[in-house]
Amino acid sequence: MAQYGRTYKDPEEKERRREIFERNLQFIKDFTASGNRTFKVGINQFSDLTNDEFIRSHTGYLASKQPKSTRTGSLSHQYPTGDVPDSIDWVEKGAVNQIKDQGQCGSCWAFSAVAAVEGITQIKSGNLPVLSEQQLIDCDTEASGCEGGLPDNAFNYIIHNRGIASEDTYPYQGTDGTCDSSKAAQQAAQIKEFNDVQPGEEELLKAVAQQPVSVGIAAGGQEFQSYSGGVFNGDCGEELDHAVVVVGYGTSEDGTKFWKIRNSWGQTWGEEGYMRIQRGVDSSKGMCGLASQASYPVA
């Protein structure tokens, strides 16, 4: 685990982590030996964590605190189903910044919201800002900082604050801090409102065809923890506990439809920080529930 910068406080902790790593390694070997899967798992920066530790330290989506948005509805009046392209990738279109890492802070909600705001700002203005997650952690009183929150919390805060600062102005610390009002007043981007997407993959498709979209997702499964590539259709976990951004969709070479999601676990997880996850599943909520609580900002 040295390649991931992991250090341990004493020999006892190092031995405990070694034992956990060995169990996770066996899980990976067993999964790989089972064959006939559309995705792969492998060693990553979470391989010395139990699944419970992983969930506690690297998620942070509080679905039970879902607020009402300024208005709700589908995007059918803006983007008819027939006009939705077969595929889209907002990364390739220049509307997505480099992958970030939330660290051991349950701030996924802030990273998801910031990426969505960065995306719509680029689409509207041609300028892709790098915005501050830490401002949301410190200043958004609707959320709970590193203990969790929702992208909708963040959108509400940005609207009421009349904007959000840049990452350079208000840099990420990965811990709860006191709101710095002078930094928070230096807006680098603004939004007018936000909309909640009606549940279901069809409505999510219309939204993602327009811009990157924040979604809640069940990410607590061990297969999700160890994902290393391919189109994911494995163990998600039991409930929505994480927030990511859907930045595109398409179809793989073998004909499997997928969503492309941008995570906030650094570039060593998944496909350089991204995941392709199966699209067009039987569940009305989408794979891992990603089509059940989605929202997007309006600039």
The residues annotated with a catalytic role in the active site are 108, 242, 263
181: its two tokens: 């009002």
Residue of 129, 130, 98 whose CA lies nearest to 264: 98
Q: What is the DSSP letter of 73?
A: -
Tell me which amino acid residue 161 is. N
Residue of 145, 125, 194, 137 whose CA lies nearest to 165: 137
Rounded to an integer, what distance in angstroms lies between the CA atom of residue 26 and that of residue 30? 6
